[in-house]
């Protein structure tokens, strides 16, 4: 593992430490740009990888924390939220609102608060892994910790 001492990963690490979760980051020189790559590197179930997906909800960011083993059903989510349409955000929109690039977005460490939804199917895993701000880093967290630190609404997203 290599150390990373700046940028988005430092902000994620700081947010985790401040929240009481602690520094659970791991960095992989070969990269973990996809849920499958992360699951292989961490030797864990693909469903325990937590994807941080940014959507555009009427011009505002919506962060959906979803299992790496399934796709988000945006129609289902929109219906539950009472919204008409949720669109996948552009890479520029994601960077603007998170300070992180697509493929490395973390659930925390953003410049401002982002409305967040948490895939309730993730609660069946004792330990989850989430992106930590770049394509090389991940952190471990429990479902309860993730819900608390993000103040996410638990929802069926698939």
Give the model confidence (pLDDT) of 39-83 as tens digits. 999 999 999 999 999 999 999 999 999 999 989 999 999 999 998
> Average pLDDT of 122-138?
97
Number of domains in the chain: 1
pLDDT above 90 covers a percentage of the chain that reads 92
Domain region containing 95: 8-155
Residue 150 maps to a domain = yes
> Average pLDDT of 107-112?
96
3-state class of 130 per DSSP? strand
Residue 49 maps to a domain = yes
CA distances from 24 to 17, 55, 80, 156, 158 (A): 9, 27, 33, 27, 28
Average pLDDT, the chain: 94
Residue 1 maps to a domain = no
CATH of the domain at 98: 3.90.960.10
Residue 2 maps to a domain = no
> Residue 83: what pLDDT?
83
Q: Has this prediction a pTM greater than 0.85?
A: yes
Residue 3 maps to a domain = no
> Residue 1: what pLDDT?
33
> Average pLDDT of 71-100?
94
Residue 52 maps to a domain = yes
Residue 120 maps to a domain = yes
């Amino acid at each position: 593992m290599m150390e990373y001492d700046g940028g988005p990963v430092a902000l994620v690490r700081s947010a985790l430490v401040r929240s009481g979760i602690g520094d659970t980051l791991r960095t992989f020189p070969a990269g973990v740009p996809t849920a499958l790559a992360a699951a292989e590197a961490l030797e864990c179930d693909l469903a325990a990888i937590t994807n941080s997906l940014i959507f555009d909800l009427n011009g505002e960011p919506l962060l959906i924390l979803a299992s790496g083993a399934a796709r988000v059903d945006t129609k289902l989510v929109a219906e539950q939220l009472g919204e008409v349409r949720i669109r996948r955000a552009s890479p520029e929109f994601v960077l603007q609102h998170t300070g992180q690039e697509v493929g490395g977005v973390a659930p925390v460490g953003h410049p401002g608060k982002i409305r967040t939804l948490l895939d309730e199917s993730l609660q069946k895993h004792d330990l989850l892994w989430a992106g930590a701000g770049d394509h090389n880093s991940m952190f471990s967290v429990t479902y309860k910790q993730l819900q608390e630190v993000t103040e996410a609404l638990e929802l069926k997203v698939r």
